[in-house]
Structure 1
Amino acid sequence: MILIRCSAAYNHGPVDYYLISPTAGDPSPAALLVEEFVLCDDYTAAGIDGAEWQPEIGAWSASAELSRAIRADSALRGRVTPVSRQEAAAAFARLGGGGLPEEAGLRTLFQERRHLPTTAPLNLGSGSGARRYRILFAGELGEDGLANARTALRLEPTDHPRVVGKASVSAGGHGFTWELRRIGAGIAWCVDVTARLGSGPVTALGALLHHHRQVVREQGLIPVTVERFA
């Protein structure tokens, strides 16, 4: 990820990798998509940088439209598999690219940013001082993916029909609570995070949001954005 204050680069983190198959269910990759979220200094998402390796032309190309499409088009999303860097490197070699560049090198290939809507968080007048975030995902969680997400997020059951589970922790001098929630008929999911910040470094919040985004992504969902409501 890149952390920004409106437009200036502030920090880097791991990039995300996706294999694009020619048809749904086909394990052979036809292209490789590399992405990195661009974050504001409060860890909300301002955009997505990326590049696509197209083996038919043997070159990297702009990926803003593909980035939008895999989140909006369920048929295309069925051909997309989130993978680790190691898996991406193996696929890149099979696709004729040779050695996958290091992440710093990949960032130099990002040609076009897909901007995401950003607004100031709402002041709901609660007076609690808590920050409330939503990490939104596109896609469907299967039974195994849901079980893995429950374990990775350390969720306890709730009585709410759309809330899979909830958890709380104190870390870095702050208090965090989160829940995994279905949106619609399971076509989208979100992790809602409430952060009660204390005196410790605020980077603990960024680390937690990044961790939750990654562990759900590892179950096959595609992160869409990180929003803040308060």
Structure 2
Amino acid sequence: MTTSPARQTADSSPALHYYVVYDDAGVPEGLLAEEFLLAADHSSAGLVSGGWSRSEGRWHDASATSRRLRLDAALRKRVTPVNRTTAATLYRDLCGADLPHEPALRAYFGAPAAQPASALPLTGCEPRPGFRETRVYRILFADELSPDGLAALSEAWQMPVTGDLADPEVRILGAVRRQVAGDTFRWDLRRVAAGAAWGLDVTCDLRGDRDEAVGVLLRGLTTQMRQQGMIPVTIDRFR
């Protein structure tokens, strides 16, 4: 049995996603903390967030900023994904206090931003032979994947790079296959939306009655893409 590197990454990860927000001069101005709300099948059902800035000196609902972040390339250039440790260090540097615990941060979150409807048609529902259920997800990301980011993902996933990142016509950059306790997982790293975004197309062949490994995998893959500067947009299920 082979355990996915993504599973190892996600097991101890905090639920919230953290971002440093810089001003126009490149100086850290504040923090954004986000959480994807998940449906029972681990697809995303909404996005909630809170923000803090030096100018306001308080936490507040930041749902409008989170929506802009997915649409506004200029804003994304002033935002960097970070882990909680980095966010806590910056917060202490900016205001001399400890970063609130995640339950306290959630108290500032507003109503969830609705997720966009799937842009892809649902495929057939028959499982692959030998499995109880087959699911197909797409984790969609905004921003550009750098050559260093691609190399880091290739190493982390033991993924041979099969396409040229510099060629805008190349859609699939690599594919990975893993087995976990009888279940089989495959994901492709690809350009989507005519190169305006990136996606991980994840196929989950489930043998048993439990699907916890699906959620662990999707969270882990999202974390590893964020580590390369990518902004998660949604997790859609197409099958």
TM-score range for the pair, normalised by the shorter chain length: 0.7 to 0.9
State the partner residue of 1:59. Answer: 58
| Alpha-carbon contact 2:135-2:204 (below 8 Å) kept | yes
Q: CA deviation at 1:30?
A: 0.6
For residues 26-65 of structure 1, the C-alpha deviation after alignment (integer angstroms, 9 at most, x for no partner) is 2x31110000110001011011111000221211111111
Aligned length: 216
| Alpha-carbon contact 1:137-1:222 (below 8 Å) kept | yes
State the partner residue of 1:46. Answer: 45
Letter in 1 for 2:153: A
Letter in 2 for 1:84: N
Q: CA deviation at 1:115?
A: 1.8
SS in 2 for 1:176: strand
Q: Confirm whether residue 177 of structure 1 aligns to residue 177 of structure 2.
A: no
Q: CA deviation at 1:111?
A: 2.5
For residues 155-207 of structure 1, the C-alpha deviation after alignment (integer angstroms, 9 at most, x for no partner) is 23446931110010111331111010012564310000000111163100100
User: Percent of aligned positions with the same letter in both sequences?
Assistant: 39
Q: Confirm whether residue 16 of structure 1 aligns to residue 25 of structure 2.
A: no
Q: Which runs of 5+ in 1 are unaligned?
A: 1-11
SS in 2 for 1:177: strand
| Alpha-carbon contact 1:58-1:97 (below 8 Å) kept | no
| Alpha-carbon contact 2:33-2:50 (below 8 Å) kept | yes
Pick the aligned partner of 1:189 from 198, 201, 205. Answer: 198
Cα distance in 2 between the residues matched to 1:95 and 1:187? 34
Q: CA deviation at 1:91?
A: 1.3
SS in 2 for 1:95: helix
State the partner residue of 1:140. Answer: 144
Letter in 1 for 2:151: A
| Alpha-carbon contact 1:168-1:175 (below 8 Å) kept | yes
Structure-1-length-normalised TM-score: 0.86
Q: Confirm whether residue 208 of structure 1 aligns to residue 212 of structure 2.
A: no
Letter in 2 for 1:162: R
State the partner residue of 1:95. Answer: 94
In the superposition, relative to structure 1, how do residues 122 and 141 fare at CA in structure 2: closer, same or farther (>3 Å)? closer
Root mean square deviation, CA, Å? 2.2
Letter in 1 for 2:159: L
Cα distance in 1 between the residues matched to 2:203 and 2:96? 42
Letter in 2 for 1:21: Y
Letter in 2 for 1:80: V
Pick the aligned partner of 2:154 from 143, 150, 157. Answer: 150
| Alpha-carbon contact 1:135-1:223 (below 8 Å) kept | yes
Cα distance in 2 between the residues matched to 1:200 and 1:164? 32
Structure-2-length-normalised TM-score: 0.83
State the partner residue of 2:9. Answer: none
State the partner residue of 1:114. Answer: 113
- Point out the more displaced range, 140-149 or 92-101: 92-101
